Chains A and B, each alone.
Chain A
Amino acid sequence: MVDTKDILKEFDPLTQEDNERKDDLGEVQRDSETVSTENSNERSSSNSRNERTYEDDQFFDFRLFAKQFRNPQADPLVKYTKSFLHNFATQRAVWTPEEQVKLINDFRLFIFGKLKVYEPFKSLDKAGLHNAEEGIEKLIMGKLYTRCFSPTLIENVNEDTVDKYHLKDIEDDELLIAKVKEYRFIELSNLDIPNKLYTRLDKFVELAGKELNKVNGFKAPRDKMVCILNSCRVIFGLLKHHRLDKEGADSFIPLLIFIILKGDIANLVSNIRYIERFRYEKFLRGEESYYLSSYQAAYNFILSMDETSLTVADNNEFDRKYKENQKLLMEEKEQKDRENAQLKQSSKEAVSSGATSKNSLDEVTNSMISMFNDLFTSSQQKPEEMGDQNKRNKKDEDVTQLINRMEEQEHKDTVDTLCSMFPDFDREIIEDVCVAKKYRIGVCVDTLLSLYN
């Protein structure tokens, strides 16, 4: 693979420091393996065991990283990053996913090594360093999102120049949507889901779908992963409700497929593949891998779905529903055609609407990332031009305000959804639970379920 080595050289801002780089890499790799364990040990001693959740273990503070990164002592790191981003964006308009993964991984290893050389990162403990590594990933993926996430890539470059792998993502997204429409009428029993009486099924399905759809509002692989896990938490909330959670995958996988069929999830295939490609392998814990694989398994099942993939007790009844749905789909299509004569234009928009729709939470990230806007400009730029202190403070203030506002809205949404799932509870009770559980959706659902029972 001579090609990739050449590409690498182009992106390596410091080829002359190759030896130093090699050593750094070794160190980073060894350390990163122990970070998560140490981190969780520390935390489990300060939290009571019952309170331990995924979020506690995987503490991440992007604001802290952003502040550290703008410290003048970290200027060399900023320069490396600028240089990398600049080259990534200008060397070629389109890279294949494989090339992108290679370039980003190599830079990641390089810059992780450099974190141990420059203050303020150099003197951080392992947890702090891990936070910085997560911050780097979020920063560079935020910057490269439009080039790496297939639905935004085809919006931004000439479609004829896009490689077949990115195009395949889009095709599969469209095929999945088509399949979901074709089979949206199916019931739990068609998927071999244990036939117990599911109370509030529709609310849980709605919430799981809503959590899942949030993937389109985030750019960082980590943030998208959190959305995936949250939707799985809601599914297990439902299973716990019916004492089916101990049955593991036998109940979980069919229900996951059901959620995808009932939810209106945009760009699901592209999102899952993006996480798989760009979430740093070492950060992906076993549990995350498992649920990511389950999503892949689930969408693959739907992509190749036909009547034979389903359990059908009454063929005539199934056919009737299928035809009825086909008729409905036709009507919907005609309606759409009428509404918009330029179907071609509108379908293109439909594909991308999920990808570009702004999510409130990611606006915070966007505004923080925009503070590093000059990262795309020439790497010759002087570090002093990063902006004067006043400007920085002003921006910090804006971001804090924005975050507060977003959080408020997000909290209100959570309470609203939970109220509709648990109409027997007063809103005040639900609010109390949310405050006590810090608005973490999975834990809130668990708690309310235990109160309910």
Chain B
Amino acid sequence: MLQFKLVLLGDSSVGKSSIVNRFVKDSFEDLRESTIGAAFLSQTIKLNDNGKEVIVKFEIWDTAGQERYKSLAPMYYRNANAALVVYDITELDSLNKAKTWVEELKNKVGDDNIVIYLVGNKLDVCEKDSSKRLVSLEGAKEYAKEQGLLFIETSAKTGANIKETFQEIGEKLYDIKKTEVNTDLDGNTGEIEISKPSTNDTTSCCS
């Protein structure tokens, strides 16, 4: 089983926790390992690699969205494989805040080390009343493309695109992991064993 750490970033009213609650609740797999509360949740999904079933487990780290807790975020995004940067499509300012998160991640973690997914939430509100939309789909899409981010609009309320979001992250991370392992093995086409420790040096596991 592959395991990935995913961090949630975004303003406090954008519904980032709702997205994850929806994902965990709707998922077919009932392998919930969170026992304390909704700040940390984990859930598995299944991927299909040319007929071979691959299980991917997400460990999802929520952050406090209030502006004053911004400085605590590095504690949470260190070693994360992916970040879900969430904004609210009915709040123009929430996209600007999302953009500052993207910049921070790029500066502090680096593009190569983390998959960033820009997520515009509250699609249900705009489907009912299109005048509520304040962030255009095209504009956000364009920004995501420029920055090389994955992008989607979702509704945690109806569940629209929630599963798809996590499925896509899972696939992307799996592809990256596969390429890494193949590069490491360098021509050795044996069984892929991702968690295998390096055995070049007897003390390598601790150095």
Interface residues of A (CB under 8 A from B): 1, 4-5, 8, 18, 21-22, 25-26, 29-30, 33, 37, 40, 52-54, 57, 102, 105-106, 109, 192, 229, 232-233, 235-236, 239, 245-250, 252-254, 285-287, 290-291, 293-294, 296-298, 300-301, 304, 309-311, 442
When distances are taken between beta carbons in the complex, the residues of chain B under 8 Å from A301 are: 69, 71-72
**B66 CB contact (under 8 Å) in A52, A250, A294:** A250
Q: Report the nearest B residue to A29, measured CB to CB.
A: B197
Answer yes or no: B176 CB below 8 A from chain A CBs: no
CB distance from B155 to the nearest CB of A (A): 16
If over half of A's interface residues share one DSSP class (helix, strand or loop), that class is named, otherwise mixed; here it is: helix
- The proximity string for B residues 59-76 relative to A, scoring 1 for CB distances below 8 Å and 0 otherwise, is 101111110110110011
Query: With A54-B36, A233-B36 as given contacts, are A102 and B206 in contact (CB-CB < 8 Å)?
Result: yes
CB distance from A430 to the nearest CB of B (A): 22
Contact between B199 and A33 (Cβ–Cβ < 8 Å)? no
When distances are taken between beta carbons in the complex, the residues of chain A under 8 Å from B206 are: 102, 105-106, 109
Query: With A105-B206, A106-B203 as given contacts, are A253 and B17 in contact (CB-CB < 8 Å)?
Result: no
- The proximity string for B residues 12-34 relative to A, scoring 1 for CB distances below 8 Å and 0 otherwise, is 10001110110000000000011
Q: Show 17 residue pairs from A and B whose CB-CB distance is below 8 angstroms, ordered by the A residue.
A: A5-B203, A109-B205, A192-B69, A239-B37, A245-B38, A247-B17, A248-B38, A249-B62, A250-B62, A252-B62, A253-B69, A254-B69, A287-B40, A293-B61, A294-B39, A298-B72, A301-B72
When distances are taken between beta carbons in the complex, the residues of chain A under 8 Å from B33 are: 40, 57, 285-287
**B75 CB contact (under 8 Å) in A105, A285, A300:** A300
When distances are taken between beta carbons in the complex, the residues of chain A under 8 Å from B202 are: 18, 21-22, 25
4 closest Cβ contacts across the A-B interface? A236-B37, A248-B17, A249-B62, A286-B59
Q: Report the nearest A residue to B61, measured CB to CB.
A: A290
Contact between A290 and B39 (Cβ–Cβ < 8 Å)? yes
Question: Apart from A52-B35, A106-B206, A298-B72, what are 6 other A-B pairs with CB-CB below 8 Å?
Answer: A18-B202, A54-B36, A250-B12, A250-B17, A253-B64, A253-B72
When distances are taken between beta carbons in the complex, the residues of chain B under 8 Å from A236 are: 36-38
CB distance from B13 to the nearest CB of A (A): 9
CB distance from B83 to the nearest CB of A (A): 14
Q: Report the nearest A residue to B206, measured CB to CB.
A: A105
Contact between B69 and A232 (Cβ–Cβ < 8 Å)? no
When distances are taken between beta carbons in the complex, the residues of chain A under 8 Å from B8 are: 248-249
